[in-house]
Each structure stands twice: as C-alpha cells, then as structure tokens.
Amino acid sequence: MVVGGSGDGVHIVLSYALLRMRASMAGMSHAATCLDDHPHAEPDPGAASVAVTVAERTPSIAPPTAAAARFSTGWWSLPPVRWALLSTVLFVAGLLLRFAGVPGWLPAMLFAGCYLAGWQALRERSLDVDLLMIVAAVGAAAIGQVVDGGLLIVIFATSGAQEAYATKRTADSVNALLTLAPEQATLLSRDGVEAVVDTAILQVGDEILIRPGERIGADGTVTDGTSEVDQASVTGEPLPLLRGPGDEVFAGTLNTHGALRVRVSRPASESVVARIVTLVEQASATKAKAQLFVERIEQRYSVTVVLSTLLVFAVPLAFGAGLRPTLLRAMTYMIVASPCAVVLATMPPLLSAIANAGRHGVLVKSAIVMEQLGQTTQVAFDKTGTLTQGTPHLTDIHLLADLRAGEVLRLAASAERLSEHPLGRAVVAAATDRDLVLADAVDFAVTPGRGVTAVVEGQRVQVGSPALLTSPTPSQTVTITAVEGKGHTAVVVLVAGRPVAVLTLTDQLRPTAAATVAALRNLTGHTPVLLTGDNALAARSLAEQVGITDVHAALLPAEKAQRVQALRQAGRHVLVVGDGINDAPALATANLGVAMGRHGSDLTLQTADAVLVRDDLTALPALLRLSRGARRAVVQNLVLATLAIVGLVTWDLLGTLPLPLGVLGHEGGTVLIGLNGLRLLRKAAWRP
C-alpha cells in the first residue's frame, strides 16, 4: 500500500495491471442479440406476390451490416478508455508543471482532475484490489504524496481501459462472423418471379436463387441445379463439394460455378453460422463463471484488509492509546497485510513462462491460461490446417498411357491455368515447382463436379474427377480405388479423349504431427482425439499416420462442441487445437483452446487462449511442460508469501513491528518471490 511512499503500492498495481491485460471473453454476451432492426430492400415492382409476403414479415435478426456498424466505432467509443486517457493527460500535465516550478495550485487542480477521471474509469469495477488502490491513492494524497497517488490511479485506470478494449475486440470478431452470410438473397415466388429481400426475413419453405459466385443466404436443401460449394468456413472441408438436388447447403458458404435453387430449412437466427456465434458466447460465459470464485476471494480479502486496518487504528485509540504509535501500527499493518506478496507469488513465474513461450512462437493470452495449460489431460485436434497444411499438393502421377510424367503434368497445368479450384491451383503449383513451361489454353470451360476442359497446343485436354471416365478399364479402376482408399483425391487427365494419367493430390501432413501426438500422449496419459468436418475415409487415413485411434469425422461446428463437452463431462481437462471458424465453438467449449496462427480465422484467434504463431506443433508439448514448471514455482512462492504475511502481521499485532522493518520484510520477501519466478525465463525451461 502507498501511505508514506508508493513502493509497495506500485508493486500491487503493476502485478494486477499485468493480470488484467488479457483477451477477456467476458462481456461478449448478447453480441449476436443486440442487433438493430434493418428495413428490408424494396422488392421488384413486378414481383407483386412476393412483395405482399415480404411486407408482412418481421426480421428475426438484424442483417450483419447493422451489427458491424454497432461494433465498428473504435476504441474511443469505450468510456473507460476515454476516462483513462483523460486521467493520464492530466497527470502528465500536472507533473510537468510541478517540475517547471509553476505555482502549486495549478498542478494541484490537474492532479485533482486526474483523480476524478481515474475514479470515473474505475467506478463500475468491483470492489476488489481496485478498492485498495483507491484507498491507497487517497491516503497518499492526504499526507502530501499527491504524485504517488496519481500514478496509482493512472496505471490502474489504464489497465481497466485495456481490458475493456480487449473485450470489445473479441465481441467485434464474433459479430463479424455474421457477415459471412449475405445481407440479401433472391427470393423466388411460386411462379418464378424474383425479388431481392433481406435474408433476415426468409422463412422455412421459401425458395431462393443462388447465382455463380454468390454466397448462400440461408441453410437449406437444393431443389434444382448442380454446382460446387466451398464449405470450408463452416465444415472445414479443404475442397469444394458437389451439391445437387437433395443436398444440404449452409448460409455463408460460397457457390462457385452453377446456379442453385435452395429451399430454406432454417430461419437466419438458427443457421449454422448464427449457432456458431451463440455457442462461442455460451461457452465463454460458462468459462467466465468458473473464475468468479477467485474474484470473490479477492474482493473479500481486500475489504477485510481495509476494515481490519480501521479496527487496528480505532480499537487502541478507544482504550486510550496514543495517536502517533497507533497510526504507525495501523499503517504498518496495512502494508504487511496487503496482497502484494500473494499476487507476485503467481505473476512472475507465469509472466516469465509467457515471455519464454513468446520467444518460441507461442502467444499465451493470460497468466490464467499459462497456469491451466499444465492441467491438460486430453488434447483434441482438428484435421485440415492443423495436423495438415490445409492446402492440396500433388504427391504422385500414375501413368495410364505412353507419355512422360512431366509432359502429362505440363498439359494438365496448362489446362488448369485459368481455374480457381484448389485442385487446379495445386496442379499448376506442382508444374511451376518443376520449372515446366506452360502453354496457352483456349476454349477453357468448367463443368461443376467433373472438372475443366481446354484446348492446349491443338489437343483437347480434360482434367477432373474420375467421373470423366465413362468406361474405365479394370486397371484404371484399381488405380483410382487405391488412391482414394488412402484418403487422397484422384484427378484424371485425358488428352484427345484418351486417359493418360491419374494424379494423386492430398492435404499434406505436417512433418511433426506424429511426433507431437506421441509426446502429448506421454504428457497427458491419453491419446489425442481427432475432430474434423472432413469425410471419414480421409480422417481415418490421416489418423493412422499420426497414431490417433479415436476419430470423429463429418462433424458440424455444433457437433464438435458436443464431443468436447462429452470429454469434459468424462472428467478430462480438454485442450482443443484448431484453425478455422468451424473450430471456434469447440475451442470455446474446451477448458482451453489453441489456434494455428498463420492461417487461423479472426474468430478462432480471438476465441483461442493461446496461438501457435509459427504453426509449429512441437511447441504444444513444450508449452505444457513449461506450464507445469510455472505451476510448481507458483506453489513455492505462495508458501513463502503466506508465511511472510502471517509472520509479519502476527508480529505487528502481538508485538511492536517497526514500520521500516515491516516494509523491509515485505519487500524482501517480494524480491525473493520475484527472482524465483524469473527462473522460467531461462532457455532450459523450454523443452521441445
């Protein structure tokens, strides 16, 4: 505490300021439900029957743009940020005027404004250590230490503003997910008349038209048309899927080439994308409740220290004790009983571990996360982009005719040169890596679900799915079956109508995946599980390569979260590792979530508790070991801090503890605790 000076108080402030500088998920509740109404677009004048229906409807949720506007006003829209900034400006101005020798009344007014602004920034916060800081600042000012008190106010107000800003960023990222689904869709009447309407007013049974290149406006079932749909944002599938009559499609996914008619099966508020937002919010709120116990203890302890200090001062006075010795005893008691030592018992080891992890490419968002990582007993992996690199690569060329592999690849890449399909880009990339010179292609055409056709050097070249082979020979069938049986993608190449090769493309496994799985099995006592939206064949093939036996495939985001919840209910402390938007609910439902940093979605990076910035899987077991080392150091420090506080408080109450000796004992213990925590900064503490 700051009474005669600011040393002890500054220790408390710095500790708690660091603790509060985290990407908190608290305050995200209602992020998807506090949206404003938005008037729907005017229907086409010729669409009378549709217009009547549209006019009678009330949007169930607001369009994404309304949400984006609500959450895009910037950091200045946050009152704690404005008050903290004003407090800082007034403090710095008062300090400069004081050093410049300006008459004392002017700096005093600025410092008073600093105190008031800081109080505004903190007044909505709970009565925990914030209460001690305010009491300390007022006490410091009362005995003439105005600068010390102002410094406390500024630092604590700034830490509160940082937490408010972090919370706003998280809410923004969750709300931005709603922009995946388009704001408007083309509604078809029974007689085929089109009307552009807001997706928020679509009802179950409506039929909408999705043209090539448009995002699908609602969850539904295809009634007419065939196209490839990129569902990576929802299911995690690495490649677009062929969708035709009877197939289910999801809001926010991208229609590539063909036109589709879709019958709406869920209103906008119940779409898969909207449910992802809801799941993240609910899981995050549950996680926040688990932290209330610590906050309640902090509040009670802080209030107890203040009240007991008043008793230590008032009771002896009531029995005739002298004012000066009683005041000194109370001041000493407040200093030695303050939670500074306990706070520093946890922060130096955890912050040192966070810094060490940062040096090795791992961003851990808070000290609480670092502490809990070591408790992990079960790891769950996503497949695409996590255990694999997330993009298809050409791994083999099976020749079916008398052509060289290089020539086949050159012709195929020349035909695919204009394609936007991931498989086409992979073929072109493979040819580029081999320094092949591609030829110009003419008469380029795309057939959804089948592939591309182009004329290359006078020859008609087709590259696509095995469906291009109308009458495959037994040997061709064996080759294709062998490729697909291993979970790979088979792409056939035809030149002048003659099959010449089968290309094997696969989402490459990360080189360190198997070693990471083995290390995590040894650390946690359980083999990691695989949770993926990819098909079962590909999932099982990859699981066999890395040593995973528990595989759950073809999962939607909500189903991933349910699997994670089942693991938690079985008594496991679950750590989920993923990269896509579809992984966000699982990351939020788990005890802890880790995101892949290079290609992770904004929502996943915000939801995750830690980020592998370099996508290095070997950092995971090293991170768990580091966390366990930090937890051991915390226990050691807590024992030392508790003994120091109990001993000094007992001495002060039962004997006569001089104020300087009390400060020395308290500060000395704090220094030892800090040095013990700094051991986690050593290179030896990181063991891959």
- Name residue 104's amino acid: G
Which residue from 408, 510, 536, 518 is spatially nearest to 463, judged by alpha carbons? Answer: 408
The torsion region of residue 385 among left (phi > 0), alpha (psi -120 to 50) and beta comes to: left
A 10 A CB-CB count for 531 gives 28
CA distance 644 to 227: 71
- Tokens coding 285: 């709120």
Which residue from 599, 223, 609 is spatially nearest to 384, judged by alpha carbons? Answer: 599
CA distance 151 to 157: 10
583 neighbors 611 (Cβ within 8 angstroms)? no
Side-chain half-sphere CA neighbours of 390 within 13 A: 16
A 10 A CB-CB count for 57 gives 15
Q: Under 8 Å CB-to-CB from 23, ≥6 apart: which residues?
A: 166, 169, 170, 365, 366, 606
CA distance 152 to 142: 14
Side-chain half-sphere CA neighbours of 217 within 13 A: 29
Q: How many residues in total does the chain contain? A: 688
CA distance 34 to 604: 22
- Name residue 46's amino acid: G
Active site residue 382: yes
Q: Which of 148, 382, 609, 652 is catalytic?
A: 382
334 neighbors 132 (Cβ within 8 angstroms)? no
CA distance 553 to 303: 52
- Tokens coding 400: 């079916």
CA distance 665 to 393: 64
Helix 513-524 to helix 619-654 angle (10° resolution) is 30
Q: Beta partners for 506?
A: 393
CA distance 181 to 273: 8
- Residues annotated as catalytic are 382
